[in-house]
Structure 1
């Protein structure tokens, strides 16, 4: 069978978004590399992006900042569960954290395509730091009412929604296209390194000095990425004139464009499934630690760190062997591996044994989400990069709180083990369905070429 091709180009949508432009010419530097200048295979290819100064700066600042973010991601559910003992309220934390993305995410996508992404990130990271200081102030003052804490968390969600499209699209500005796969994978590497370090630090800080100190560390950690962004000298990116249309008009046009690209649709479908059935586990470890394994904050931190460690182990292979293994093959293998990790976690007799299946969940989760992000970045036309990324993020972030609420409600009714076991079974069913799907929605569409129709 010949290579899969996107069904149509960007021009129909581009004409709607930019009436003054009859078409889009993709810069030569953005075209697909030929086999003659393909990057080398193997683990050497995994670290190619580190050869670029600006990427190294961004990566280092993001590592410190995301370590703080993972401190907060574990600390806030811990505080809520300690006060209420309710798995449902733990799930509601995700609702308040991610539902603001519905409003701010599409606007963030427009900003990412219209303006200097570095400046947008500087503003949004400053907003995230200030809103994180608000969360710290609420908890440090002794307030323990769940709705008050969640309201403060919602403020960070607004800035996060505005920030995320520029954050993911900015990686494309820091490296040439040949090194994009390495950059996306290394960006996931630092995120998961932070996920391994942050929860472990959170467990120690909570046990020794209390949760408010973990939240203060998170707020101050934003200074690292703000400093990195201030030092970055981004390479010029050739883009058309800014789009004068309204945000909602652009959003509808972007959705129409996404529907025309099967590879991007496939990446979004996988993201939705993972968001609903897998991502809630990151907060559900709080419930298992408190009501199933009966362990303290340190062991809770180690459980979350195990998922980050699993992802760290997987990253070099995912990035380094991209020229050998297609995105479709990586996703297919991960779709079948992750249910075993979820079921293994549900059936683990204690917190120590649970570390092994949680590491498998972390590795498979990383492979799925990194591959979906790479597929979108490689397929999308440069003109619409920020807006298409915002659509993917919006669907993913909506699926997360919905899955968290359902799992939290079921956990209060039938117990945490049965709930997580059911999620693992559903994930296996989804893996089978995605594997046998044909036509426009087959996994092979993740490897579609970039949309450069002229």
Structure 2
């Protein structure tokens, strides 16, 4: 941690991420409110949420194309910041639902491209012993802004209007771009044949290479996607369960979401204080197991306070999962093009898991109770993780 304080490249990266995330999370509540204001139809906001998840499926192809043009991860992040800086003010004049859908899809596509790049830049900026602390700091900053950003956005929206919040978000991306100009990394393009192999022969070849060369990393990614089926289901199960079980559902729903996000922030503190010294794979598997158990308990809880505590523990474990996954991939994959590709594949699989679970449960809720669905999702996610780990015991032993 002490080494990071004097690491100018990492401090610049961290600052840029915090500034842009503040604007992003501030507008996360404003754009759905604007859309509902124009349409009066809650179904349009559901489509908007879909437009936030789907771009991660395409991020890998965008990254591959940009890397083949010899753009390093920092340069790609700068391009994504400039695009978002230009797009967010257009929301001010958007009036039709499809305007919001297109703008949301493109801005979140930029975010989906920038995230794998930022994780690759961490490896370029930091020594191997500092990777876990660096990822944890980035995660803590993101989780803090996820917690307070919507509140700030709501206050600014109520006092200054939507246009002010959207222009402010645009300005944060300009500031982020300027800060990223200070990040100087050695990597400027493909340096050897190994790097050139990544991204030049199609996604299928990249996935095969990943499976053959990094079996333990594949285990991390697959378990993350399979367990993510349960955690993605929370998008559907929490609001449905709150409406069925509790009075004053709007307040309790917001309280449960705050508990989940607050737990993620606490998880970063707990990881840095107690778990950073342990073997990463062990921490990951324990965190995943505990998160799945408390996911089940949160879905069965009949008291709002208990559900909030259980969801906080889920969030705590989820944040540790994220840090361990990022650190493990950074430590295993040497070349930067391959590293960015692996992160993009991981993000795509996680997005598929969330979209499938959310859509499937939205349909099943018409016929199956929340309690039954919670148990079913827990069984599928836990069983899938256990079966995959048993089939790949060698990866666990490496």
Bin of the TM-score, shorter chain as denominator length: 0.7 to 0.9
- Residue-by-residue CA offset, 1:422-451 (whole Å, 9 max, x unaligned): 246523553355346556634x83685xxx
For 2:321 and 2:207, the matched residues in 1 are separated by: 22
Counterpart in the other structure of 2:309: 356
Q: Check 1:292–1:133 CA distance in 2 against 1; reply closer, same or farther (3 A cut).
A: farther
2:87 corresponds to which of 112, 125, 131: 131
Q: Is the 8 A contact 1:98 1:397 kept in 2?
A: yes
- Greater displacement, 221-230 / 259-268: 221-230
Displacement after TM superposition at 1:123 (Å) = 1.0
Displacement after TM superposition at 1:73 (Å) = 3.6
Q: Is the 8 A contact 1:203 1:300 kept in 2?
A: no
Using structure 2 for the length normalisation, give the TM-score.
0.82
Q: Is the 8 A contact 2:55 2:109 kept in 1?
A: yes
The question of 1:184 aligning with 2:135 is answered yes
- Residue-by-residue CA offset, 1:9-46 (whole Å, 9 max, x unaligned): xxxxxxxxxxxxxxxxxxxxxxxxxxxxxxxxxxxx5x
1:265 corresponds to which of 193, 218, 221: 218
> How many equivalent pairs are there?
392
CA RMSD of superposed structures (Å)? 3.7
SS at match of 2:121: helix
SS at match of 1:279: helix
Counterpart in the other structure of 1:333: 286
2:172 corresponds to which of 221, 229, 253: 221
Counterpart in the other structure of 2:108: 157
Q: Is the 8 A contact 1:132 1:219 kept in 2?
A: yes
- Greater displacement, 195-204 / 368-377: 195-204
The question of 1:117 aligning with 2:73 is answered yes
Displacement after TM superposition at 1:211 (Å) = 5.7
Counterpart in the other structure of 1:397: 351
1:386 corresponds to which of 340, 357, 367: 340
For 1:56 and 1:357, the matched residues in 2 are separated by: 34
- Residue-by-residue CA offset, 1:326-385 (whole Å, 9 max, x unaligned): 222222222232234434544556766643233222112112222222222222232521
Q: Is the 8 A contact 1:117 1:170 kept in 2?
A: yes
Q: Check 1:90–1:165 CA distance in 2 against 1; reply closer, same or farther (3 A cut).
A: same
- Residue-by-residue CA offset, 1:396-443 (whole Å, 9 max, x unaligned): 2222222222233334x258xx4476246523553355346556634x
- Greater displacement, 358-367 / 98-107: 98-107
Q: Check 1:289–1:226 CA distance in 2 against 1; reply closer, same or farther (3 A cut).
A: farther
Structure 1 gap ranges (5+): 1-44, 449-454
The question of 1:313 aligning with 2:313 is answered no
Q: Check 1:159–1:216 CA distance in 2 against 1; reply closer, same or farther (3 A cut).
A: same
Task: Name the structure where helix makes up a greater proportion of residues.
Answer: 2
1:256 corresponds to which of 202, 205, 208: 208
- Residue-by-residue CA offset, 1:164-214 (whole Å, 9 max, x unaligned): 331221111111112112112221111111112113334445566666655
Counterpart in the other structure of 1:445: 395
For 2:102 and 2:59, the matched residues in 1 are separated by: 16
Q: Is the 8 A contact 1:312 1:363 kept in 2?
A: yes
**Which structure 2 residues correspond to residues 17-96 of structure 1 after superposition, within 5 A?**
48-77=3-32, 83-86=40-43, 90-96=45-51
